[in-house]
Amino acid sequence: MKSVVIISSLRMLFIYLLLNRYHKDNYFIFDSDIIDLNIKVIKKLKKGKGNVDLFINSLKNYFFFKRFLWENKLNIYELNAFGADHISGSSFFLKRCSFYLIEDGTENYQLKNYKRSLKNRLFSVPKFGMHKNVKRIYLTRNDNIPDCIKEKVELINIHQLWQNKTKEEQDEILFLLGIDKNKLENLKHKSIVLFTQPLSEDNVLTEEEKIALYKTIIGNYDQEELVIKTHPRETTNYRDHFPNVEVFSENYPSEILDVLGIRFEKVVTIFSTAVYVYSKENIIFYGTKIHPKLLSRFGRIEYE
């Protein structure tokens, strides 16, 4: 059976490829933030900047997908859908296909995403796995999972899924994601990694607030031993602010470092899910309590 794959991040794509063998006959739909890869994409989904923009994008997506199905003689009810159910354009498939949801960072663990107002119930469809068409939800953690989706959840281990792949399958995944192993060599000499997050890009903090927060965190560690691993959606130039720190800004899912044997003695983050592939004793997790704006936006997120 052919599938539609709706991807909101490189990490989600990596997990999809660990769960499913790549088939060029499947139809990939990417968020507009994702860079071009070695995968044919039928559409990139634009983000809306307001209700009017969202409505216009929704109409454009609807007619694009209707035409695409007609031109390719596809029956949408015979397709499976994988990936994100909460981004622009995904509702078209969520309402019509068997849907297999893949974790999208911290989004799936924020309980506010499962609370539906009367307006949301009247004018929107359930997201984050709550829709009746969602058959399975692939998550990497077992905390903060609400009762309304628990029976659909399947816990996965990224490292184990990678180990289960053949060498040929692993190489195929690296090729599809555009991973250059040579660019990882410098990281082997570092003992501490800081996984940053797009806090200013998502309008949670200002750019100045984000830099000030990371300056405080970085001040706790030996800069000679530290590497900053930026988030793929970040536009911040960390090299300007931290000239003495190695910055790794390749658009690679952070979990790639672990599965390729790049080991760190300390793994530091505010609340990125990238750290969950590492052993608990190596993780330094500051959590949202480190800044009032983070606590207000995301609620209390701590390492469980």
pTM of this prediction? 0.84
For residue 120, the model assigns a pLDDT of: 67
- Cα separation, 234 vs 113, in Å, equals 23
Does the structure show a pLDDT above 90 at 173?
yes
Q: What tokens were used for 286?
A: 């500051």
pLDDT digits (tens, 9 = 90+) for 218-237: 999 999 999 999 998 899 99
**Domains assigned to the chain:** 3-177 (3.40.50), 181-298 (3.40.50.11110)
Whole-angstrom distance, CA of residue 244 vs CA of residue 30: 35
pLDDT range class, residue 113, cuts 50, 70, 90 = confident
- Rounded Cα distance between 29 and 40, Å, is 9
Q: How far apart are CA 249 and CA 230, in angstroms?
A: 5
User: What's CA 81's distance to the chain center, in Å?
Assistant: 17
pLDDT (tens digit, 9 = 90+) per residue, 27-83?
999 998 888 899 999 999 987 777 788 889 889 999 999 999 999 999 999 999 999
Q: Are 103 and 270 in contact (CB under 8 A)?
A: no
